[in-house]
Amino acid sequence: MSLHEECGVFAIYDAQGDCARSTYYGLYALQHRGQEDCGIATINDLELSCHKGPGLVGDRFSEALLNELNGTMAIGHVRYAGSTNLHLENAQPLTLTYIKGSLAVAHNGKLINSAELKREYEYKGAVFHTTTDSEVIAYIIAQARLHSGSAEAAVSQAVKRLKGAFSLVVMSSRKLIAARDPWGFRPMCIGRKGDAIIFASETCALDAIAATFERDILPGEVVWVENGILHSNRENCTSTSSLCIFEHLYFARHDSVIDGQSVYEARINAGKSLAREHKIDADVVIGVPDSGLVAAKGYSLESGIPIDDGFVKNRYIGRTFIKPEQSTREEAVKIKLNPLRATVKGKRVVMVDDTIVRGTTVIQIPTLLRDAGATKVHVLISAPKYISPCNFGTDFTIKKDLFAFNYTTEEMRVKIGADSLGFLSLASLNEIAPNSKCGFCDACFTENYPIK
């Protein structure tokens, strides 16, 4: 545990519908992708309105506010801020007014050439008010629009200049546009509900508003809605793709389907592979809520060891990794999970979790289980060793803080107090998503980065 995803985005065009409310429900379904702040921007009679701020979606938006925001188009955003990006002015969507009109922009991911682009525009006189990549993207689109025949053409031109991860939604006064980076690092799909057209980070957001999944946006593709008609530009598409493998291991909600692959089935496959690779004599399998539960089920199915609830989770505290400071993260672990004594007392336990990054969480859990009466605690991780930082949106770029970078498997086992410790092999990782239409980025495990 302790990875950080960047954000989730949602957008809808519906000339007859309640776009603000649909976006609210869509963001609610994407809340797991970011919990620091959220926002919704809408177009009504060509006028742009926006409300955003700190907190969860359900706390930020009231019935009266949604009625006030309602329009024929909307984009929404939930944000994980990261430890160096907490400023409230960074909340999205970002809005700007320029000579061609108004724009609202929201995105998920991280650019690796953001500083270079920002410096270029600052030398041209641009003044930046946030520290986000989204503002850089907005400037590039606005500049490109001055020399392009349309907003969608400007977005296509901007995509050519951006390097890194970005699933992007853009709203002008007349058009709703979505784009995915040419590597496909982050997911983005298209859905329909009647005449409404929806773009979302995950299919679970489509389910939340009873929309029907149509297809995934291709890596490099720009799509847009104009007068209720969906259009596509694939000039930036390539033959290779690099979806972040952690979407299947951890980030995405397990009821989502990404690029043709069920997230639930991918996690079941990871658990089954763990069982084939790590045969353990035990009495019960438990998963660490919530991200380890499905892999634990896969382990149980393959091994034949019964699965049971191992922890009671405090539902009133956010996922541990959302806490940006190390001290608050450690405190959160202690109040987040409580072992279920009736399940583990007097038993040999296989505990399945999704990954070890810093080691903050996992280093405490075996002791909690022993204190609850477990006689043996075997820790299995449904991912390989996390040995290298990510620069594409997981907000973890310091190699020296990685648990597996600093210690061998045996040293980690001793430090966390487990009777055994095992990881998913790289060979098995490559087999967990057989139905995926995308390739994968696994640089955090292999140091093989898709972009230099």
Q: Which is it for strands 73-79 and 7-13: parallel, antiparallel or unpaired?
A: antiparallel
**Spatial separation of the C-alpha atoms in residues 269 and 279, rounded to whole Å:** 16
Q: Which residue has the tokens 């031109």?
A: 157
**Spatial separation of the C-alpha atoms in residues 404 and 384, rounded to whole Å:** 10
Q: How many CB atoms lie within 10 A of CB 70?
A: 18
In angstroms, the Cα distances linking 11 to 158, 172, 371, 441 are 19, 12, 48, 26
**Spatial separation of the C-alpha atoms in residues 166 and 304, rounded to whole Å:** 41
**Spatial separation of the C-alpha atoms in residues 450 and 452, rounded to whole Å:** 7
Region label for 359, one of left (φ > 0), alpha (ψ between -120 and 50) or beta (otherwise)? left
Return contacts of 127-134, CB within 8 angstroms, 24+ apart: 129/89, 130/87, 130/89, 130/90, 130/94, 131/85, 131/87, 131/90, 132/85, 132/90, 132/92, 132/94, 133/107, 133/109, 133/164, 133/166, 134/92, 134/94, 134/105, 134/106, 134/107
**Spatial separation of the C-alpha atoms in residues 206 and 398, rounded to whole Å:** 35
* Active site amino acids: 7
Q: What is the dihedral of CA 94, 99, 102, 105, to 10 degrees?
A: -30
Beta strands in 32-184 (DSSP E): 37-44, 47-54, 73-79, 94-98, 101-108, 167-171, 175-180
Using an 8 Å Cβ cutoff, are 342 and 309 in contact? no
Q: Which two tokens stand for residue 69?
A: 């925001």
